[in-house]
Amino acid sequence: VVPAAAPTPKTFVPAPTDGTVAAIDRALLAEAGMIVPGGSVSVLAEEFRLVKRQLLLTARKLSDPAKARTIAICSARPDEGKTFCALNLGISMAAERDTNVLLVDGDFAKRDLLPRMGLTNGRGFLDALGDESLDPESLVVRTDIPQLSLLGAGTRTNGDTELLASDRTSEVIARLLAADPKRIVLFDTPPALAASPAAVFALHAGQVMLVV
């Protein structure tokens, strides 16, 4: 009997926040069954085209211009595919000609949005909430997927819900939207029945996509 070869360990690279472009691991995306930018139009890609079209059409009907550009992706419980859907939706929306996408990891306990793309976590959203002198745009990670940027969850803290519920959150989101008039911000939130921040994120979003 020939023993099975040990799986090749995955290599993660630091997510740069100095303006340089981060290379997204497309092999990692393919291995996870996600949309691969530049690849053929799969059934999955077509399904997310349908989802994003509905979200974009609904956004045009919202009276609040800021909330029209914010969408929260949520699920009821863990392991229902919320982050999988958030990533695919972000990649699909970034293919639009007139839309730039900022995908924010708001699942502070899990924090696996960037690692799913081959990047390590660093400073991010929580750091911007906790430090008023910090420009949130300086923490945004540009990627080599055209029109797609990322903002990691940031440094762990036991007061994540309290930070999120503060007035600073509205200021941070407003600054992220003001930095790019074409930007749509997608929040990958924690599961609604597992963590309290999901309900707070919903207050700042014009739409909520519930993954069932």
pLDDT reported for residue 10: 59
Q: How confident is the model at residue 5 (pLDDT cuts 50, 70, 90)?
A: very low
Nearest Cα to 186, choosing from 119, 63, 96?
96
Please give the pLDDT value at position 187.
Answer: 97
Q: For the purposes of burial, counting CB atoms within 10 Å of the CB of 67, is it exposed (0-12), middle (13-18) or buried (19 or more)?
A: middle
Maximum CA pair distance of the chain? 66
Per-residue pLDDT at 87:
97
Q: Where does the pLDDT of residue 12 fall: very low under 50, low under 70, confident under 90, or very high at 90 and above? A: low
Tokens describing residue 137: 């745009």
Q: How far is CA 23 from CA 15, 118, 120, in A?
A: 9, 8, 12
Q: Is the pLDDT of residue 8 over 60?
A: no
The tens digit of pLDDT for each residue in 31-89 reads 999 999 988 889 999 999 999 999 999 999 999 999 999 999 999 999 999 999 999 99
Long-range CB pairs of 35-43, under 8 A, 24+ apart, other chains included: 35/88, 35/91, 35/92, 37/91, 37/94, 37/95, 37/145, 37/146
Structure token pair of residue 105: 């990891």
Q: Residue 194: its pLDDT value, please?
A: 83
Distance of CA 146 to the CA centre of its chain: 15
Four-residue CA torsion sign, 66, 178, 210, 197: negative
- pLDDT band of residue 125 (cuts 50, 70, 90) is very high
State the pTM of this model: 0.91
> Model confidence over 149-183: pLDDT tens digits?
999 999 999 989 899 999 999 999 999 999 999 99
Q: What is the mean pLDDT of the chain?
A: 91
